[in-house]
Chain A
Amino acid sequence: MSYLIDEGKNVQHLLMGNEAIVRGALEAGINVAAGYPGTPSSEIIESFSKVAKERNLYVEWSTNEKVATEVAAAASFAGLRSLCVMKQNGVNVASDFLLHLASSGTRGGMLLVSCDDPGALSSVNEGESRLFAKLLEIPLLEPGDFQEAKDIIPWAFDLSERIRNIVMIRSVTRLSHASGNVRFGPLPGTAAHASFTYSGPLLDPDTGPVISMILAAPELQHGPQQEKLKKAAEIFETCPFNTYTGPEAPELLIITSSACSLYSREAVSILGLEERVGILKLATTWPLPQRLLKRHLAAAPKILFVEEVAPTLEDHVKVVAAEAGAEIGVKTFFGKKSGHLPSVGELNPDLVLAALSRICALPYESAPAAFSGAVKALAAQYAPPRGMTFCPGCPHRASYWSIHNALQLDGRNGFVCGDIGCYVMGTLPAGFSTAKTLHAMGSGSGIASGFGKLKQFGMDQPVLSVCGDSTFFHAAMPALTNAIHQRSPFTMVLLDNRGTAMTGFQPHPGSLTNVLGDTVPALDMEKICRAMGAKVEVSDPFDLEKTRQKLNHLVEYAEGAKVLILRQACALSPERRGKKKYEVTVDESRCRGEDCGCNRICTRIFGCPGLIWDREKKVSHVDEIICAGCGVCADICPAGAIIRKEIA
């Protein structure tokens, strides 16, 4: 039995922030959870799936975030408690539906959980999802620590049901992925009954159809939606998760939320400023509790905002301060706009320390220069600088090798429109810098479809897109549909590594089993593309020459959209992990090393981490521990020095 459903009285468990959110939802009696994988959010759906049977849950990895939100909304409309979860970029995908949902309202409690990634530790950008709450006119909660991450969820479900609208929860990487002790509360029973009532009057929130349509009378629908927000603001005035620590009349008031509240506490304590600086930690960051804020603003002459990415709190609180100017007097504000804290990347206690010491005129050197220098030197000694690269045995390296070579041979300055997955590294030397555009999920193929139509303006460069199997279903199908219909001559390379590899092998619509382990119909991408009308070829990316030939052939074939499916499981997939197909070694006597005739193409260009260059002997080696046994390097060695022996 999973510790997540431990029913012991007052037990504590060490939980990841994401697990704390799950436990909170279980204590709230959640019934349905849907999401699309994306770091740092993925553990939430996975954790739900582990207890789905015991807790009578329906859990799914949906095709994309918009669908996940729609699936969760259906549960809410049928009176159940539900949640949809995604990373920050996913909110963009779901936002179209979300705007309608916020307008139609919900029935059973429904939460939107967004796990943001300040610093873009595992994202292509550090987009800020909090601004959506304002745009969508829905309440936003930001838990500040692990216990709160659990406790705030049942509270949020209650709020959602009280105002009959979706409530947004925002976590960040350092909360979602760090762990802390969480004291458990009781779990409710698992009985639930779903039924969708629609027989009441058109605009009756409880019994009518659930529709989002202004019907030429905004006051009938938009008006009530804003009332809900006002009600939430009122509830927020007494929200137990908004806390203040510090003197009654501090010199400086820190206003903060989320993981930044931990950094703030640490910085204040290191500088011994507990008597001078107060910390107002807000959990309810949209709409803001005005009276609460005014009280605290009135008590301090200087205000410092500690938050990550966009100056969201900063902007919103300043509006409150301006409106209350007559009551609270003139304040001096510090934060991103004053330049005391950066507006890009993650924060940390050190950055807060530096800001505090500047404002409070305290001499503080975050780390002496000599010390940081010594640390860097030591680090360099033990950890040589390394570029990001694909895993040993990764099919993407082989795929990009062939794509790169095909385009170079073609010689017309062709390029790849990149997409989201491990294969974003196609923009880097790891992928031979083959990908030249990179945007949102599915955008590579959409952009390629557009490039393909520029022939009329003299553009004759071949255009390719890459797209993972999960991305294909997520958002690339409409792009391919477009390209086929518009006869855009580009080549979509479908990197089918059999799973949503980047985020940890979540199943997708092409998988044979779902997150609950049930056997489900797998959609066949090859058949789909053919049926859509594309010219389709399939190849094993480990067969470099055949793949390259097929690519060149497709690229030269001028008519319409073409698809090359490169099928090879991810090196870390359950079917390949720890199982070597070949034993790979280098015959030193044949190795040409740096001589004219090779110049170490294996270690210098191909760059599989399993290959190492012996500086002393001037030959390459295979590191048998790291080598995944794919044997591809044997085909790139011009001297036949890399020997692969099939392992029986």
Chain B
Amino acid sequence: MKHFGANKLDDGVIQAELCIGCGACVDLCPYFRSYRGKTAYLFPCTREEGRCFAYCPKVEVDPDALSRFLFAKPYNGDPLGAWRSIHIARAGARVKRQPFQSGGTVSTLMYFALRSRRIQGAILTGREGLLPVPKLVTRSAEVWRHGLSKYAAAPTLAAMNRAVAAGYEDLGVVATPCQATAVAQMRMNPLQNPSFRDPTALVIGLFCTWALDFRKFEAFLAERVPLRDIVKVDIPPPPASVLEVYLPEGKRTFPLDEIRPLVPNTCGYCLDMTSEFADISVGVLEGRPDLNTLIVRTERGEEIVREAGRQEYLVMEDMPAENREHLEWAAGNKKQRGVRCCTEAGRLNGEAGTACLRLNGEVIERILKNEKNGKESSCHI
């Protein structure tokens, strides 16, 4: 695949307002920086090819190449991507109660991976106020402090780039689907660097329907709640349709209709709800917000999940077929929306260097023909 340089990334992604601020291009060099949720291109870099462009999950993504690289099979547009097993999970008896978003599966697995030295460090996303702040965590006890979802899009991968530059290997990463796509692209050594080594040992992907624009989200909440006092933010699974803000004195809820305008356009272009290019993907179980949905995709993912279960860090059971079908329905919906949105914008298989995504006709058809899903005509969230 042809790669381009930073100017093209700026034109095709940042100026086009397709940047989600994932941080994959940030801190590789002096040109891209993240500030208050936005990625800034500081000065023009004249290189024809660069890691910034190659890593970006919003331009020239080739799911088929990623699928072949990670799972040794073609990308066929299935709603949940490639998987080995799907479970219901939560933190086990070995884990003290912590502030988790739901079942604590993600924090627990990262804690376990660090303790068992499967990874040298974990790239996690904490927060300062409402601002998501990515961090390299090397002490296992520190993992717990980074629990809970930050619903604003975060530059998590900037911390990963810094850790790699500092010489860390075998990293664990907790990533949203766009971030997990970027990490998969990093792992492919796109610029054929001879001294390259896969920087990851474990990629845990989160489920994601959309994230929020940090600056808009902050401005929205600043007018309504004392930002400093926020304990937790949650978007409980449907049919709730609210955003909940936990404060010491209680909970405030905001209808999702008020929140959706804070979602960046770029989330509409996204086909991936379940972090298809991660080792393991984790979400909230519908109807049971205290439990997680867990999808195991790779061999190394399978290994750690098995061990974490065996050592009672994790409690798991099989997922009922009914739940899985509903999950597939939701993920399929997002795929259709994404394909329509990219097509409308001319960014599905479009001009080299500005296309978001490359898919063959057969896969596009499969996604759009998925009968379980409704016939949404627009790409609006």
Chain A residues within CB distance 8 Å of chain B: 404-405, 408-411, 432, 552, 594, 596-599, 601, 604-605, 636, 638
Contact = CB atoms under 8 A, between A and B. Distances in A.
A217 B262 CA distance: 69
Interface in B5-61: 28-31, 33, 35-36, 38, 40-43, 45-47, 49-52
B30 A601 contact: yes
Contact of B29 (A404, A405, A597): A597
A596 B29 contact: yes
Given A596-B49, A596-B191, A638 B29 contact: yes
B367 to A, nearest CB: 34
Contacts of B45: 599
Contacts of B46: 599, 604
A409 B49 contact: no
B47 A596 contact: yes
A580 B74 CA distance: 62
Contacts of A594: 47
B264 to A, nearest CB: 13
Interface of B: 28-31, 33, 35-36, 38, 40-43, 45-47, 49-52, 191
19 contacts: A405-B42, A408-B33, A409-B33, A409-B35, A409-B38, A409-B40, A409-B42, A410-B35, A432-B43, A596-B47, A596-B49, A596-B51, A596-B191, A597-B28, A597-B29, A597-B51, A599-B47, A605-B43, A638-B29
A467 to B, nearest CB: 24
Nearest to B50: A596
Given A596-B50, A596-B191, A601 B35 contact: no
A408 B30 CA distance: 13
A432 B31 CA distance: 13
Given A596-B29, A598-B29, A638-B30, 11 more contacts: A408-B33, A408-B40, A408-B42, A411-B38, A432-B43, A596-B49, A598-B30, A601-B29, A601-B30, A604-B46, A636-B30
A600 to B, nearest CB: 9
Given A410-B35, A552-B35, A594-B47, A599 B40 contact: no
A39 B30 CA distance: 38
B211 to A, nearest CB: 17
A96 B320 CA distance: 87
Contacts of A404: 42
Contacts of B41: 408
A174 to B, nearest CB: 40
A203 B47 CA distance: 76
From DSSP, what is the main secondary structure of chain B's interface residues? loop
Contacts of A598: 29-30
Contacts of A599: 29, 31, 45-47
Nearest to A406: B35
A411 B17 CA distance: 12
Nearest to B6: A599
A596 B47 CA distance: 7
In the A-B complex, the 8 residue pairs with the closest CB atoms = A409-B35, A408-B40, A411-B38, A605-B43, A409-B40, A597-B29, A601-B30, A596-B50
A613 B46 CA distance: 16
Contacts of A432: 43
B43 A601 contact: yes
B337 to A, nearest CB: 27
Contacts of A409: 33, 35-36, 38, 40, 42
A628 B33 CA distance: 29
Contacts of B28: 596-597
B43 A411 contact: no
B40 A411 contact: yes
Contacts of A405: 33, 42
Contacts of A552: 35
Contacts of A601: 29-31, 43
A13 B51 CA distance: 67
A404 B29 CA distance: 17
Contacts of B42: 404-405, 408-409
B219 to A, nearest CB: 12
Nearest to B38: A411
B3 to A, nearest CB: 10
Contacts of B52: 596
B50 to A, nearest CB: 5
Contact of A411 (B30, B35, B47, B191): B35
Nearest to B29: A597
Contacts of B50: 596
A228 to B, nearest CB: 60
A358 B172 CA distance: 81
Contacts of B30: 598, 601, 636, 638
A605 B45 CA distance: 9
A432 B29 CA distance: 18
Interface-central residue, B29, B46, B50, by most chain A CB under 10 Å? B29
A596 B30 CA distance: 10
Contacts of A638: 29-30
Nearest to B54: A596
B27 to A, nearest CB: 9
A404 to B, nearest CB: 7
Contacts of A604: 46
B217 to A, nearest CB: 15
A30 B113 CA distance: 87
Contacts of A411: 35, 38, 40
Contacts of A410: 35
Nearest to A595: B47
Contacts of A605: 43
Contacts of A408: 33, 40-42
Nearest to B28: A597
Nearest to B35: A409
A632 to B, nearest CB: 13
A123 to B, nearest CB: 30
Contacts of B38: 409, 411
Contacts of B49: 596
A579 to B, nearest CB: 29
A87 to B, nearest CB: 35
A10 B88 CA distance: 108
A369 to B, nearest CB: 36
A291 B291 CA distance: 106
Nearest to A596: B50
Contacts of B36: 409
Interface-central residue, B40, B41, B51, by most chain A CB under 10 Å? B40
A597 B30 CA distance: 7
Nearest to B39: A411
A431 B122 CA distance: 40
A410 B42 CA distance: 11
A405 B30 CA distance: 11
B39 to A, nearest CB: 9
Nearest to A410: B35
A408 B26 CA distance: 14
Contacts of B33: 405, 408-409
Contacts of B43: 432, 601, 605
A411 B45 CA distance: 18
A596 B192 CA distance: 12
A432 B40 CA distance: 15
A558 B314 CA distance: 48
B4 to A, nearest CB: 12
B21 to A, nearest CB: 10
